Chain A
Amino acid sequence: MLTVRHLTKSYRSAQEQVAVLRGVDLSVAAGESVALTGESGSGKSTLLHLIAGLDEADGGEITLGDIVVTGLHDSARAALRRDRLGLVFQQFNLIPSLSVADNLAFQARISGKHDAAWQRELTERLGLGALLKRYPEQLSGGQQQRVAIGRALASKPLLLLADEPTGNLDENTADEVLGLARDLVARTGCGFLMVTHSERLAATLDRRIHLHAGLIA
């Protein structure tokens, strides 16, 4: 479902050109959960951002389903994120002025895939029923991340991308949140690619890919 071939990306620093990704190849199948690990600066987040269409690759190809992501213009990449991807970040990135209920439904609504029954099920599974009228600032970190996962899965994406989703959470909360994410991914059948530093959490997913100096180790 997700195929990445010979992906390269470099950034220009003050003095020199820094190659972050130097020809990455990977794939994630539907229903598969994959952990992407590596030391700081190995290019994990850059790879995730390129897959999500948040940034443009220098070379190589990313294919999601039947769509070649690389080469899409800004609006098409936005449509891809809206309709086929779910994104979860370390900083939660909820919309502070929307209630929990509205945050959960937001992406599904703008992609035209809002399904009230699925939203109810998500709310229930994520344990957010009592929090629907609250605002993000009134939630704990774990609660906020559960809302973020719910928002990402509400539109039933092909692929869920998560960038250090448990980085701001304590160990117990992290296990709980990741457990919920895995269950829901299994329930929807979508692919799941998660960037993490934690070997322990990486071991709970189907497969693990290690990135080192811009290459798959």
Chain B
Amino acid sequence: MRRALWILAVLLSHWRRHPMQFATLLIGLIAATALWSGVQALNQQARTSYDRAAAAFGGTRTPMLVATNGGAFSQQLFVDLRRAGWPVSPVVEGRISIGGRSVRLLGIEPVTMPVEASAATEIGRTGAQAFLTPPGQALIAPETLASLGLTEGATPALNDGALLPPLKLQPQLAPGVLVVDIGIAQKLLKMPDQISRLLIGSTKGPRASLGSVVGDRLRLVKPDAETDLERLTDSFHLNLTAFGLLSFFVGLFIVNSAIGLGFEQRLPMLRTLRACGVSARQLNSVLVLELVSIALIAGVIGLVCGYFIAASLLPDVAASLRGLYGAQIPGQLTLKPEWWFAGLAISVTGALLAATSSLLKAVRLPLLATAQPYAWQQAQHRWLRLQGAGALLVFIAAGLALWLGDSLIAGFFVLAALLLGAALALPVILGIVLAGGERSARRPLVTWFWADSRLQLSGLSLALMALLLALAVNVGVGTMVESFSRTFTGWLDGRLASEIYLNAASEKQVIEIKTWLKTRPDVQAVLPGSRADLQFNGAPIELLGFADHATYRDQWPLLESTSDAWDRVRSGNAALISEQLSLRMKLKLGDRLDVPTPTGNWSLDVVAIYADYGNPQGQIGANVDALVKHFPEISQTRMGLRVASADVPALITAIRARFGLDGRNLADQTTVKTESLAIFNRTFAVTAALNAFTLGVAGVALLTSLLTLSNSRLPQLAPLWAIGITRRRLAGIELLKTLSVALITSLLALPLGLLVAWCLIAIVNVKAFGWRLPFHVFPLQLVQLLGVAMLASLLAALLPILKLLRMQPATLVKVFANER
């Protein structure tokens, strides 16, 4: 043990003498661990929230019975089933509005609630009596309480004037949900004697068959290992994970470069250690011990950085998940111990992965070979051919996946293979370009310029690969976001055609407002709208009702339609469907939908498919009068007003003064569009941040590679200095060389990035979100990114160049003294 410690001390002494190299190693490991762990923290936080939502009073974690037609059903069925021996517990569910904010209301019956529906036991402990006896309690998560601006114990009024029981905090409850006794919920939701679903407990016992008790009115829904939300958000988390993984590997490029160079510089030391009697096994064990120790230290620092990255990105991620999928994520980061252990494990694994080639070399270290500090650079050339062949194989695999695959995973595989293949091919392509330059050169210094650039390539190739990947991903994601942004803006113009949007506080107020609007000559049209939420083919969808009006006929963003689509929609037996519903359920024009409604099935022919960007749920658009006929209980408080633009402010002021509607219930088109665009921009803020991080790490990779190489460059530069080329000129040539290879890499990254964008738009988006986007190229954005890449390369090259410029002649002379 003591011997091992001495050997460890000797190995570590190398880093003490080469602090910059050690810093490089640490920076690489810290960056890799921080970005990976940060992303994992975000994913973990979101998944914990989904679990909370799913576990709350019988989400999809508990088996349940629901109405065959998807609507509510009679409470009598609950009584019948209990009598028949079924351990069922009733739940009623709906949405209520508190201060203009929509909240999900769950009514439960704690006495019969299955113990598996976790929070029930909590109620039992804290007092089911207080929950059940008047005035009862409304359980609420801390995040919901804060977002509503209320305090515990408050009894807020709903929009229709009804009062909620006193609010009671329950931390394990999902955000955005209120839980009350079922009797209270039935009153508040105006669903007397109605139930939304029956949860089934795990108690075993004799029970009659389901069909003999309820006929075909109810159907069994088995518990799901994965919630709807998890399924929906999988692609988003996969996206984040892909970014984390990319940053992780870019970080490992730095580590690999630092360890590789450190190992080569320590070769003579390793041979001396062996000559002094250290066995190969002991030396290799201590090398691994050294690496693991460094990885653990870097891992701890990386985890702390990862925590801060996750904490700073969490609000944007929460906004993205809310905007894209309607998922509620708390804004405060809480992490499980597993996250810390996993972070340390990934740091150690990453370090060992990055050091594999060096460790293998150590194992095979020939004891008597003469020290060859730069042999690794030459060895890299042998890999070029293998790398080229590998790149070709990976491209073929990408092509096969593109041709044969038809899933999100296949889409991501194509992306990953494209990036990996391009990274492997880069040194080969650069080698060919530089060799071409060398062949075409006439003057000796120019020939040397190209030849030396090729020599330098092996040491820089990993950093250049990192730059290529970071830039390509930036171009790809930037193009996708910009294409989306442009399409989204045009789409908003079509969807938000009314100048004013209004949501009345009650049905009574709707009648008053409509009557008053008739007296206003500035109102050109009142367009009533309504919405019903239902389950269709096992997935939640929205049924949107709109009036038959030229506004929709002229501006609705239809992607394809039959010639008589709008006339058939007016008749009430045809519908428009959103693109994502069409893709998800493989529906096309002419297909028929049988929509379950409280009044029976509603048959609708699909007559048009429209774009519905940013909506996690599928949507069906139908005539509003027909919708109200099939869903008599739905609220009809929403309407759009067509008004001349100049009359909008006056009309809003008048409505506000007369009916007391505030900003949450009354908004003009410009405000709604601005808010929608703000949500859109926030949705992609996290992508932009991760993009910037990745590019930053690639810049650091380039800087560290140049710094670690700068010392080994002396034998190449000193002879030129000796024959009369000044240090200033040498520094200029070195700078030009770095910028040349960076420029070639950046130029290669642009088409690769556009290919990445095409994959994201044509494959990943369609599979993940269910919408297609037109593909645009934004030349200005490409030029800007090229500029950023060159600036990053310039900054990375500057420090080693300054070092060379200030180098003392004595240092250069040492090259010839054979004492280095």
> B2: nearest residue on chain A (CB-CB)?
A112
Chain A residues near B268 (CB, 8 Å)? 93, 96
Interface string of A46-70 (1 = CB under 8 A from B): 0001001011000000000000000
Stretch touching chain A among B248-256, B271-279, B475-483, B780-788: B271-279
Chain A residues near B272 (CB, 8 Å)? 93-95
Interface string of A136-150 (1 = CB under 8 A from B): 010001000000000
> B12: nearest residue on chain A (CB-CB)?
A97
Chain B residues near A95 (CB, 8 Å)? 10, 13, 269, 272-273
Q: How far in angstroms is the closest Cβ of chain B from A116?
A: 15
Known contacts A49-B368, A96-B269, A97-B13; is-contact A107 B277 (Cβ 8 Å): yes
Chain A residues near B18 (CB, 8 Å)? 97
B13 and A78 within 8 A (CB): no
B368 and A106 within 8 A (CB): no
A83 interfacial contact with B, CB 8 Å: yes
> A98: nearest residue on chain B (CB-CB)?
B13
B772 interfacial contact with A, CB 8 Å: no
One of B271, B278, B280, B819 near A82 (C-beta < 8 A)? B278
B14 and A97 within 8 A (CB): yes
A74 interfacial contact with B, CB 8 Å: yes
CA distance A75 to B282 in the complex (A): 9
> B17: nearest residue on chain A (CB-CB)?
A97
B368 and A55 within 8 A (CB): yes
Q: How far in angstroms is the closest Cβ of chain A from B269?
A: 5
B16 interfacial contact with A, CB 8 Å: yes
Known contacts A49-B368, A54-B368; is-contact A75 B281 (Cβ 8 Å): yes
Interface residues on B, range: 20 to 34
One of A74, A91, A107, A135 near B17 (C-beta < 8 A)? A135
A82 and B276 within 8 A (CB): yes
B-contacting residues, A84-112, CB 8 Å: 85, 87, 89, 91, 93-98, 102, 106-107, 109-112
CA distance A95 to B268 in the complex (A): 8
Chain B residues near A85 (CB, 8 Å)? 277
One of A78, A87, A141 near B278 (C-beta < 8 A)? A78
Chain A residues near B281 (CB, 8 Å)? 74-75
> B814: nearest residue on chain A (CB-CB)?
A137
One of B10, B269, B280 near A78 (C-beta < 8 A)? B280
B269 and A110 within 8 A (CB): no
A81 interfacial contact with B, CB 8 Å: yes
Q: Is the interface of B mostly helix, strand, loop or mixed?
A: helix
A79 and B17 within 8 A (CB): no
CA distance A87 to B275 in the complex (A): 7
B3 interfacial contact with A, CB 8 Å: yes
A126 interfacial contact with B, CB 8 Å: no
Chain B residues near A135 (CB, 8 Å)? 17
Chain A residues near B6 (CB, 8 Å)? 106, 109-110
CA distance A89 to B272 in the complex (A): 10
Chain B residues near A54 (CB, 8 Å)? 275, 367-368
Chain B residues near A83 (CB, 8 Å)? 277
B279 and A78 within 8 A (CB): yes
Q: How far in angstroms is the closest Cβ of chain B from A92?
A: 9
One of B14, B273, B276, B280 near A74 (C-beta < 8 A)? B280
Q: How far in angstroms is the closest Cβ of chain A from B371?
A: 8
One of A52, A79, A96, A98 near B279 (C-beta < 8 A)? A79
Interface residues on A, range: 20 to 34
One of A93, A112, A141 near B275 (C-beta < 8 A)? A93
One of B7, B16, B371 near A97 (C-beta < 8 A)? B16
Known contacts A93-B272, A95-B269; is-contact A110 B278 (Cβ 8 Å): yes
Known contacts A54-B368, A106-B6; is-contact A80 B277 (Cβ 8 Å): yes
CA distance A83 to B277 in the complex (A): 8
Q: How far in angstroms is the closest Cβ of chain A from B711?
A: 12
A111 and B271 within 8 A (CB): no
B276 and A96 within 8 A (CB): no
Q: How far in angstroms is the closest Cβ of chain B from A9?
A: 12
A-contacting residues, B1-34, CB 8 Å: 2-3, 6-7, 10, 13-14, 16-18
CA distance A202 to B305 in the complex (A): 64
Known contacts A93-B268, A141-B819; is-contact A110 B17 (Cβ 8 Å): no
> A85: nearest residue on chain B (CB-CB)?
B277
One of B7, B16, B271 near A110 (C-beta < 8 A)? B7
CA distance A82 to B4 in the complex (A): 13
B13 and A81 within 8 A (CB): no
Known contacts A49-B368, A93-B268; is-contact A98 B10 (Cβ 8 Å): yes
Q: How far in angstroms is the closest Cβ of chain A from B23?
A: 16
Known contacts A78-B274, A95-B272, A97-B269; is-contact A110 B3 (Cβ 8 Å): yes
CA distance A148 to B709 in the complex (A): 30
Q: How far in angstroms is the closest Cβ of chain B from A152?
A: 9
A74 and B279 within 8 A (CB): yes
A93 and B277 within 8 A (CB): no
Chain A residues near B10 (CB, 8 Å)? 95, 97-98, 102, 106
Q: How far in angstroms is the closest Cβ of chain B from A209?
A: 22
> B818: nearest residue on chain A (CB-CB)?
A168
Interface string of A166-200 (1 = CB under 8 A from B): 00000000000000000000000000000000000
> A73: nearest residue on chain B (CB-CB)?
B279
A110 and B275 within 8 A (CB): no
A81 and B3 within 8 A (CB): no
Chain B residues near A89 (CB, 8 Å)? 275
CA distance A135 to B690 in the complex (A): 44
A-contacting residues, B283-318, CB 8 Å: none
Q: How far in angstroms is the closest Cβ of chain A from B263?
A: 14
Chain B residues near A94 (CB, 8 Å)? 272
Chain A residues near B279 (CB, 8 Å)? 74-75, 78-79
Subset of 13 A-B contacts with CB under 8 Å: A54-B275, A55-B367, A75-B281, A78-B282, A81-B276, A81-B277, A85-B277, A95-B13, A96-B269, A106-B6, A106-B10, A111-B277, A141-B819
Interface residues of B (CB under 8 A from A): 2-3, 6-7, 10, 13-14, 16-18, 268-269, 271-282, 367-368, 371, 819-820
Q: Given contacts A49-B368, A78-B274, list 4 more A-B pairs with CB under 8 A.
A: A78-B279, A82-B276, A87-B276, A107-B277
Interface residues of A (CB under 8 A from B): 49, 52, 54-55, 74-75, 78-83, 85, 87, 89, 91, 93-98, 102, 106-107, 109-112, 135, 137, 141, 151
7 closest cross-chain pairs (CB), A and B: A82-B277, A78-B279, A81-B277, A97-B13, A75-B279, A97-B17, A97-B14
